Structure 1
Amino acid sequence: MEGFDRMEAVARLLASLHGRAIPPDTRLTRQQLARARRMLQTIDGYRAGATQQEIAEVILRIGKLTRDEWQAASARHVVAGLLGDARAMISGGYRKLLRHRRRS
């Protein structure tokens, strides 16, 4: 089944190279793309030395929180999840991310 995904990618590449309309990429939903973007932003911030709270303030647009508020904040768990998923994607999970979901 991966062959079909690759053929679609080649078709998009060829269309781009020849100045034609690029067929839509249907592998990821809009929500999956948004989450992937946030995962990359999160890992970039973390690798640049930002704390998880600072990352949450920027990416999730939350205001400054006290230490106790941060410990109880759902945003803390969101950032931890984004970091974990970003690490998994970097260590090879991106291959799975770019495949079409197939029915079993």
Structure 2
Amino acid sequence: MAQDDTSVVVLAAAPDELVRAEHHWLDPERLDGDLDAARADRMVPLGDGSQIQVMSVAREGLPLAAVIPLDIDGFARLEAVHRLWAVMHRRTIPPDTRLTRQQRQRARRMLQAFDGSRDGATQQDIAQILFRTGPVTRDEWQASSYRFAIMALLKDARAMVAGGYRHLLRHRRRT
């Protein structure tokens, strides 16, 4: 999944050419978070309510460097490393720009609609909760824009639950 999520930071042994005694190197044990010893993974809380996954592939005690493949996702991975650096040096954490505020709000509504549908709520019930609408007659509901919005939210939510959520992990790309 690290190949899908561009916010994962991979740490490896720093090349000898970059290692100097006077440099302060990251000690992975200093990072807050839970270590999964089997995979050397750590979920590091960023302090802004989010967290970042750090994978270490180096032997203990070696100076570490971030590995950033020079592919189309390189800029997104640089952003993740920037966020990790900010945490390490107690600086302001840059925002995660993979989703706009509107996209996050839509994803939230999709999941809320999906949960309501799975729990047996009608589309009209879901609309009343999500959009704060009052009760409407059957004829009003049939012509309501809320009805079509709920149908679209549920369609997109099913696609997300079926695996489409992975596109949320990547940055938008200009074509």
> Structure 1 length as normaliser, TM-score?
0.84
What is aligned with 2:106? 35
Residue from 73, 82, 86 that aligns with 2:157: 86
Alignment RMSD: 1.9
Structure number with the higher helix fraction is 1
What is aligned with 2:123? 52
Matches within 5 A, 1:61-72: 61-72=132-143
Aligned-partner residue type, residue 43 of structure 1: F
Question: Unaligned stretches of 5+ in structure 2?
Answer: 1-71
Question: Unaligned stretches of 5+ in structure 1?
Answer: none
- CA shift digits 1:60-87 (9 cap, x unpaired): 1111011111111111000000001111
Q: Which has the higher contact order (CA 8 A, sep 6+)?
A: 1
> What is the total number of aligned residue pairs between the two structures?
103
Structure number with the higher strand fraction is 2
> Structure 2 length as normaliser, TM-score?
0.52
What is aligned with 2:168? 97
